[in-house]
Structure 1
Amino acid sequence: MPANATSATDRLTTTQDNDFPSSFQTDGRRERGNRNKAAVVAALLDLYAQGEIQPPAARIAEIAKVSERSVFRYFDDMDDLSAFAVELQWSRVKDLYEDLISDGNFSERLAAIVEQRLHLYDKVESVYQVAVLAARKNAVVASALKKRRSILRHQTMKQFAQELDNHPDSANARRILDFTLSLENIDYLKSAMGLSSTKRSETLHAAVSILFHLQH
């Protein structure tokens, strides 16, 4: 994707804002095009949710009830469509990144962040897995993934600032804590280890408690 490509969120805003002349807004073909574009993105997100991480354009078009040619009328290629869908889905769960109770004692703060991360993972699981794959060759997705990791890392460090400051090996403790509460680790606990939501929660609680030599 070109370096100066606009983000999916920017393009979504451009598609939906009301700065166009009224004659342009009411143009039937443009409205139909917008509906079809939205249908294509919705179809891809539905397929992601069903576990189809790299569906072909024909499959997306079938679900969206548009022609396969239409898919590439709205997006440059499959990478462009994937980047748009990933950013759109992440924008829908933005509040989950910010919804974290940071008050209370260690046990309360630990419970709050574990609940937040597990809930967030449940909401973005399929898109997250796509993003990890797409980030290897798509600069837009890679940048978005890096930004969201940074947000969660900052939250984690803030949530346990007191414990980290008092830890005898603070540098390593920060790295271990960052990974333990990352979406990557939660994905591993579910996908590789087959743990239920309850067991994932228990594991995260135990790991952080052991790190700080505390009982939750």
Structure 2
Amino acid sequence: MSPSAKSLHVTASPDGRRERGARNKAAVIEALLQLYEAGEIQPSAARVAEVAGVSERSVFRYFDDMEDLAAHAIVIQWERVRQFYEGLDGSGDFDERLKKMIDHRLRLFDRVSGVGRACVVMSVRSATVATAMNQRRSILRAQSVGQFAPEIAAHSRSDAVAHIVDYTLSIENIDYLRSSMGLSRSRTRHTLSTALRLALT
């Protein structure tokens, strides 16, 4: 091998290792998100490694611990679902705004429910996850209250009504209706609509 070829070979190897490392790290994150979506809320490192196709040791080569892995995964997931938090149309009369609000929240639930359940569990142990959850809840709270601002403002107990609206439209409440109560999507929609009408009209 000529000196120049040898030099090229030596300098290429670290790049190749970095690329493999980046791919493996991404695979580990993707595996955790897939497990969350499948309902495995607290998978072990061995389980994540199995799905990712890497060794268990590799998981801790890229992340300090499972909490660190979860925090990285939630950042990635946020970038994927950010658009579903946005784009709520606040125009129209009450019935139109009500329909748009419920449509928006049910679409969002479909996208985030699996990871959301995992976040609830992880937030107890991870300040990073807890902060991320609170930030997203704040976004949804502002949307919910803003969508029905005229109706809330007209109520004699506006603060209490705002809290009811916020809770009714929370991802956690929708998850309860769908998962714990076993309501279909159409019955969930009807329940949300009825609750909001009772609170706001």
TM-superposed CA distance for 1:41, in Å, is 0.7
Which of the pair has more CA radius of gyration?
2
Which amino acid is the alignment partner of residue 110 of structure 2? Answer: D
Aligned partners of 1:204 and 1:139: how far apart in 2?
31
- State the match for 1:183 in structure 2: 171
Aligned partners of 2:108 and 2:200: how far apart in 1?
24
- State the match for 1:10 in structure 2: none
Gaps of 5+ in 2: 1-10
- State the match for 1:6 in structure 2: none
1:75 correspondence with 2:75: no
Which amino acid is the alignment partner of residue 87 of structure 1? Answer: V
1:205 correspondence with 2:200: no
- State the match for 1:103 in structure 2: 91
With the length of structure 1 as denominator, give the TM-score of the two structures. 0.85
2:27 aligned residue (39, 45, 54): 39
1:116 correspondence with 2:101: no
**Number of residue pairs matched by the alignment:** 191
TM-superposed CA distance for 1:87, in Å, is 2.1
TM-superposed CA distance for 1:81, in Å, is 0.6
- State the match for 1:161 in structure 2: 149
Aligned partners of 2:138 and 2:70: how far apart in 1?
21
**1:37–1:74 Cα contact (<8 Å) kept:** yes
Which amino acid is the alignment partner of residue 204 of structure 1? Answer: L
TM-superposed CA distance for 1:34, in Å, is 0.2
TM-superposed CA distance for 1:55, in Å, is 0.9
Aligned partners of 2:96 and 2:112: how far apart in 1?
25
Which consecutive segments of 4 or more residues in structure 1 shift more than 6 A?
none
> What SS is found at the alignment partner of 2:40?
coil
- State the match for 2:18 in structure 1: 30
1:54 correspondence with 2:42: yes
TM-superposed CA distance for 1:190, in Å, is 1.1
Gaps of 5+ in 1: 1-22
- State the match for 1:136 in structure 2: 124
TM-superposed CA distance for 1:193, in Å, is 0.7
Q: CA offsets, 1:118-153, max 9 Å, x none?
A: 110110111000111111110100000000000000
Q: CA offsets, 1:58-115, max 9 Å, x none?
A: 1111111111100000000001111111221122110111121110000110101101
